Amino acid sequence: MMRWTQALLNTLREAPQDAEIVSHKLMIRAGMLRKLGGGLYTYLPLGMRALRKVEAIVREEMERAGAQETLFPILQPAELWRQTGRWETMGPGMFRVQDRKEAWYVLAPTAEEAFTALAKSEISSYRQLPCIIYQMQDKFRDEIRPRFGLIRGKEFIMKDAYSFDADEAGADRSYKAMYDAYVRIFKRVGLAAKPVEADTGDIGGNFSHEFMVFAASGEDGILDCAACGYAANQERAERKAPAQPYGQENGAAEAVATPGQHTCEEVAAFLKCPIGQIVKSLVVLADGEPVMALVPGDRELSETKLRRVLGGKKIEAADEEMVQKVAGPCGSIGPVGVSIPVYADKALEGAADVFVGANREGFHLAHVSLARDAKITAYEDLVTVREGDLCPKCGRPLEIRRGTEVGQCFKLGTKYSKAMGATFLDETGTPRTLTMGCYGIGVSRTLQAIVEQSNDENGIIWPASVAPYQVALLLLDPDSPEVTAKAEALAAELEARGIDVFMDDRAERPGVKFKDADLIGLPVRVVAGAKGLAKGGFEVRRRTDKDSAVIAPEAAAEAIAQLLQTL
């Protein structure tokens, strides 16, 4: 049992200025977290206990899924990161430090390289496969906008697991085992997290799910189909191509004057045609080489999708000079006559009688048939899907929702094992490259996401599985030896049953104790007061109940244990 008078615990009436979302405010106000610097938070004893409970559940489910725990250094030699090229490609988001000999190191933002190096040295035979290893370790990222407390920190705790298999089929089994473990983990910690199809980002690889918690403050957009359950990150979401909106061929292409009209909206208004009849052309640099992308005039190019189409090349904006060199003046460019690769959105397949820029200031081309007049390298899914677009699975309109990612599973293929030469000998003694997967859970983010999802106007409502303590025992008359003795006897009985108890034994008014109990949000509240005990016993209620039940001291431990079973 912990007593408040001995605990390092201060609750606050006001949240700090920089706490924008409810979970951040509540974690600070309830004395669970304190800020050390931007994106850097200290866990106080109560917060620490909740964190440890989340970690324990993650560990249990990892072990159940056959994963083995390891622990890698956070400080990792730059050399390791050079082997896969990520020393260069990770950019300013990665913290880099030097030792006294001026050798470079990384404060690991993730750990594919280190785990692959271990697999390379330790796995030599197919007999050792499959192998899933994980760690629970601090990660560092120089986020552009660290905010929302533990949701986006510069330093945070991640559980990262990596699977090594002989082939794609084995990798699929490992992926499924981890995916299923994630479903169990989020359920057990009391968090509603939905798996959605995701882009593979900096980690690379070819297949991925993110586990998303829906929240108004979420920084990700998720396209969600209420009808069939399809859900995907906006970076990834596909749409059912709209019924062909484009006309029949209508004579040869011809230049039309569009003086001063540059955006698709301007050109459509000037030519008095629907914006869907204009094709938007963009020049971007892919690993420094110019390519053109075409999307319908009213749609946005998804750079993430273009990057995937181009095999993960880095996409950057091209400057005016480059656009002029490969096409024409900005605002008047089009695909006709250019000699760089041109990627068009799928919806433009068969587009005829459309307008495109003429690569000449003040002119557009009318009656263009893309297939006839331009050289299209490929038709691909390139637009950012938005609310109202049709579900790629069932064709009903998609909804957009905000979400925060708490975990992600990736199929990596051989991206890292190939780069680092991590091979094994198969049944015939032939060396083969390991097939990998990686699986992250933001443990600290998950802790705060639980609070974001589970609270009311009075404070946190901890799910019993991760609450810092299960029972708040409010000792209303700490000066009374009889009341204190009864409360302590109950606490001892509860602890003997494995139920942890936090006793508010401060010399404070009852109202203050009730308010703090609601703020801290332990699942069961027990009031031990002279008045109540004289009337018949302890007053017991769940954090979510309006009214208490009065329970005789000798029956209280059993009743509380049963109440906890309902949570």
Give residues in contact with ligand ATP (CB under 6 A).
110, 141, 143, 152-153, 156, 158, 201, 203, 405-408, 440, 442, 444-445
Of 503, 511, 517, the residue nearest 459 (C-alpha): 517
Pick the stretch among 33-41, 143-151, 407-415, 447-455 that binds Mg ion (CB under 5 A).
407-415
Q: Is the Cβ of residue 136 or residue 464 nearer to ligand ATP in the bound state? A: 136
Cα–Cα dist 14/11, whole Å:
9
The per-residue b/e assignment along 84-114, b for 16 or more CB within 10 angstroms, e otherwise, is bebbeebeeebbeeeeeeeeebbbbbbbbbb
406 binds, among ligand ATP, Mg ion, none (CB under 5 to 8 A by kind): ligand ATP
- Rounded to a whole number of angstroms, the minimum distance from the CB of residue 288 to ligand ATP is 24
In the complex with ligand ATP, the residue whose CB is nearer, 331 or 442, is: 442
Could you tell me the smallest distance in angstroms from the CB atom of residue 395 to ligand ATP?
29
* CA gap 47, 43 in Å, rounded: 5
Please choose, from the candidates 42, 11, 9, the residue with its C-alpha nearest in 3D space to the C-alpha of residue 150. 42
Query: SS3 of 485, please?
Result: helix
DSSP state at residue 332:
S
511: buried, middle or exposed (CB in 10 Å: 19+, 13-18, 0-12)? exposed
Nearest approach in angstroms of CB 199 to Mg ion is 9
User: Least Å distance between CB 403 and ligand ATP?
Assistant: 10
Give the integer Cα–Cα distance in Å for 138 and 159: 9
Least distance from C-beta 81 to ligand ATP, angstroms?
15
Answer with the entry of Mg ion, ligand ATP, none that 156 interacts with (C-beta below 5 to 8 A by kind). Answer: ligand ATP
The stretch near Mg ion (CB under 5 A) out of 48-56, 284-292, 408-416, 467-475 is 408-416
Residue 312 touches which of ligand ATP, Mg ion, none (Cβ within 5-8 Å per kind): none
366 vs 451 by CB, closer to ligand ATP: 451
Q: Which residue has the tokens 């299923």?
A: 180
277-306: contacts with Mg ion (CB under 5 A): none
- DSSP annotation of 93 reads G
Minimum CB distance to ligand ATP smaller for 4 or for 156: 156
For residue 440, the minimal CB distance to ligand ATP (Å) is 3
Return the C-alpha torsion angle 78, 81, 85, 87, nearest 10: -50
Task: Point out the residue whose Cβ comes nearest to Mg ion.
Answer: 408
Q: At its nearest, how many Å lie between ligand ATP and the CB of residue 141?
A: 5
Q: Stretches 346-354, 370-378, 400-408, 513-521: which one binds Mg ion (CB under 5 A)?
A: 400-408
519: left (phi over 0), alpha (psi -120 to 50) or beta: alpha
Least separation in angstroms between CB 482 and ligand ATP = 49
> Cα separation of 237 and 224, whole Å?
9
Q: Rounded to an integer, what distance in angstroms lies between the CA atom of residue 256 and that of residue 267?
A: 11
455's tokens: 């609270």
Query: How far is it, in rounded angstroms, from Cα 243 to Cα 497?
Result: 64
**Pick 304 or 408: Cβ nearer Mg ion:** 408
Which entry of Mg ion, ligand ATP, none binds 152, CB below 5 to 8 A by partner kind? Answer: ligand ATP
Contacted by 110, from Mg ion, ligand ATP, none: CB < 5 to 8 Å by type: ligand ATP
- Position 408 contacts Mg ion (CB under 5 A): yes
Beta carbon nearer to ligand ATP, 160 or 373: 160
**282 Cβ contact list (under 8 Å, min separation 6):** 292, 293, 294, 295, 301
Q: How many residues lie near Mg ion (CB under 5 A)? A: 1
Given the complex with Mg ion, which of 449 and 524 has the nearer CB atom? 449
- Cβ at position 220, least distance to ligand ATP in Å: 6
Q: Which residue has the tokens 């056959």?
A: 66
* Contact criterion met (CB below 8 Å) for 5 and 113: no
Q: What is the CA radius of gyration of the chain?
A: 29
Q: What is the DSSP string of 262-327?
A: -SHHHHHHHHT--GGGBEEEEEEEETTEEEEEEEETT--B-HHHHHHHTTSPPEEEPPHHHHHHHT
Nearer to Mg ion (CB atom), residue 237 or residue 264: 237
Nearer to Mg ion, 152 or 364 (CB): 152
Q: What residue is closest to ligand ATP based on CB?
A: 442
- Residue 163 and residue 116: Cα distance in Å, rounded? 10
CA angle 341, 346, 352 (to 5 degrees): 85
Q: Which of 145, 153, 177 is nearest to 164 (CA)?
A: 177
Mask for 350-389, x = binds Mg ion (CB under 5 A):
----------------------------------------
Cα–Cα distance for residue pair 208/229, rounded to 1 Å: 17
Minimal distance in Å, beta carbon 237 to Mg ion?
15
Q: Which is nearer to Mg ion, 208 or 332 (CB)?
A: 208
23 versus 408: smaller Cβ distance to ligand ATP: 408
Closer residue to Mg ion in complex, CB, 408/448 = 408
For the CB of residue 405, give the shortest distance to Mg ion in the complex, in Å. 5
User: What's the one-letter identity of residue 439?
Assistant: Y
Listed in sequence order, the DSSP H helices in 65-158 are 78-83, 86-89, 112-122
Instruction: Kindly state the smallest distance separating residue 440's Cβ from Mg ion, in Å.
Output: 7
Where do contacts with Mg ion occur on this chain (CB under 5 A)? 408
